[in-house]
Amino acid sequence: MNFRHLIDYNDISGEDWAMLIDLANDIKKSPNRYTSECKTKVMATLFYEPSTRTQLSFQTAMLRLGGQVIGFSDPKNSSIAKGESLRDTIKIVSGYADITVIRNPIEGAAYAASLYSTVPVINAGDGSHLHPTQTMTDMYTIVREKGRYENLTIGFCGDLANGRTVHSLAKAFSYYKNNTLYFISTEALRLPQYIINLLSDSGNKIYIVDSLEEHIAAFDILYMTRIQRERFGSVEEYEAQSGIYILNSEKLKQAKDDLLIMHPLPKTDEISFEVDDDPRSKYFEQAENGLYIRMALILLLCENYGYKITPPVYPMPQRRFCSNARCISNHERYLPEKIKRSGSGSLCEYCENTVLN
């Protein structure tokens, strides 16, 4: 296994991903064989912002492996969260736990944590940047249901501008080819151009469209997301347009019999209640798959990296180097300068934004 920390879904090699899928499948099939695999292990869940669902999923995963869980879920109640540097918190928690799950509203926080942790770190969301176990959940569900990541026609529908989930999943498909991807949204909620470029370069067909109804018949997979009311310019605009992006049984009449309907959940109005009972809807199974893929991840990290390492001593940074005000490097000023080459330019390794000159 080639990663000690899971910060980004793209850290996972094809070989490791195949191993994770196999393990998750076996756990789903024979959960009773895994009930003591992490016995005597303790996982810390450091949630600097509340995310009940994600935390429940990680907690359940560890408990079902026979391990135990400590942590906090509310920054206001946490003396750990205020005043103390992230580095100090991580060093102390490393003394308590065998594996750490971190969620933090600041971009790059999980990567920063991994620099100082003596135990494996899993990123459970760093602001609007990454949420790799959600992407793992989605990719795992797709391969279970469709058996492949190529030659698929996929519709992404809803708020494509702001959804971290869709961005990550779309980026994951840039590693595969011969897919036809429809991005369905209002003009204001289009997918960012850099992701469109990434996908086009990788040998997938891309269509940017307005209507769900016109294209639904072509889809193997339909990935729905929430549109928050406040994303529309006015209430009138919301009422006029939101219906176009609501999935109901009427629209589904034109869809394929083996369409796979996905949603990262929670959902509200964007899927009509009756669609839940359509056998093509797999979003609740998708949520359950998230449990099994997290169990597989935790188990492999504990098995392969179940010992403490001493992180290196990093030099203090000489200057601000990241252009992004929400980057952890601009909040925790001791963090070492970390810059990576990316195509034509340089990116901050914490948050993947452009660096300052």
The residues that touch a second copy, with contacts defined as CB under 8 A, are 32, 35, 39-40, 42, 44, 50-53, 56-57, 59-60, 63-64, 66, 68, 70-74, 77-81, 83-85, 87-88, 91-93, 95-97, 265-268, 273-274, 276-277, 284-285, 287-288, 291, 313, 316, 334
Nearer to a second copy (CB atom), residue 97 or residue 195: 97
Closest separation between CB of residue 179 and a second copy, Å? 28
Contact in structure between 338 and 314 (CB atoms under 8 Å): no
Q: Rounded to the nearest whole angstrom, what is the least distance from the CB of residue 251 to a second copy in the complex?
A: 17
Q: Cβ of residue 74: shortest distance to a second copy, in angstroms?
A: 5
Integer Cα distance of 140 and 242 in angstroms: 30
Whose Cβ is closer to a second copy: residue 38's or residue 301's?
38
At closest approach, how far in Å is the CB of 163 from a second copy?
15
| Residue linked to tokens 């994303």 | 231
Q: In terms of CB distance, is 32 or 318 closer to a second copy?
A: 32
**Identity of the residue, 68 or 242, whose beta carbon is nearer to a second copy in the bound complex:** 68
Q: How far is the CB of 92 from a second copy (least distance, A)?
A: 5
**Complex with a second copy: residue 257 or 277, whichever CB lies closer:** 277
CB atoms within 10 A of CB 209: 13
**DSSP string computed for 101-160:** EEEESSBTHHHHHHHH-SS-EEEEEETTS--HHHHHHHHHHHHHHHS-SSS-EEEEES-T
For the bound state, the minimum distance from the C-beta of residue 107 to a second copy, rounded and expressed in Å, comes to: 20
Closest CA to 157 of 198, 196, 191: 191
Element (H, E) at 183: strand 180-184
- State the Cα–Cα distance between residues 280 and 283, nearest whole angstrom: 9
Q: How far is the CB of 208 from a second copy (least distance, A)?
A: 28
From CA 153, how far away is CA 86, in angstroms rounded?
43
Q: Shortest distance, CB of residue 59 to a second copy, whole angstroms?
A: 5
Please say which residue, 116 or 173, places its beta carbon nearer to a second copy: 116
d(CA 20, CA 300): 8
* Token pair belonging to 326: 């929400």
Nearer to a second copy, 137 or 185 (CB): 137
Phi-psi sector, 198: left (phi>0), alpha (psi -120 to 50), beta: alpha
Contacts for 47 with CB less than 8 Å, ≥ 6 apart: 54, 55, 71, 72, 73, 74, 102, 103, 124
To a second copy, the closest distance from the beta carbon of 250 in angstroms equals 14
Q: Please give the helix or strand (H or E) that residue 298 lies within, else none.
A: helix 283-304
Cβ proximity to a second copy: between 61 and 300 the closer is 61
CA distances from 9 to 139, 240, 316, 340 (A): 10, 37, 28, 17
- Cβ proximity to a second copy: between 176 and 314 the closer is 314
Amino acid at the residue 299:
L
